[in-house]
Amino acid sequence: MRNAAGVLGMIAGLIGIIVGLFGYGMVELSNQLPEGEFSLFENPAFVQFASFIAPLLCIAGGAMAKSRALWGGIAMLLGAGAFYAAFGFNVGTMFPIGFAGLGGLLAVAAGKPDEEKAHF
């Protein structure tokens, strides 16, 4: 389960990079045009933040899934939530949200507990 979670997180992050670049670019385009002509976003700063942080969380969560499944799973679930909050569920985000969400659930539900050592 941990290996599957890791692969799903990596794929979600890589697809999410494309979505993030497109989202960040659309915000920049709407900022360059006159007011009201091409205003697509209610909160453009959040969309730009989520365009960067969501793929980062998915890739980092996938990388952590094997050694720290709980942390990696939480990171992937946060990445899926950031994609959904910024862009909604549509044809461009269905795979990053689905892969990161499933990978996060698999990592959290991994049967083998993490190693017994301090978290900090």
The rounded distance, in Å, linking the Cα atoms of 64 and 5 is 9
What is the pLDDT at residue 33? 78
> 14 with 27: CB under 8 angstroms?
no
Residues 6 or more apart in contact with residue 29 via CB below 8 angstroms: 38
Residue-wise pLDDT for 40-68, tens only, equals 778 889 999 999 999 999 999 999 998 88
Residue 31 has pLDDT above 90, yes or no: no
**Domain-wise residue ranges, the chain:** 2-108
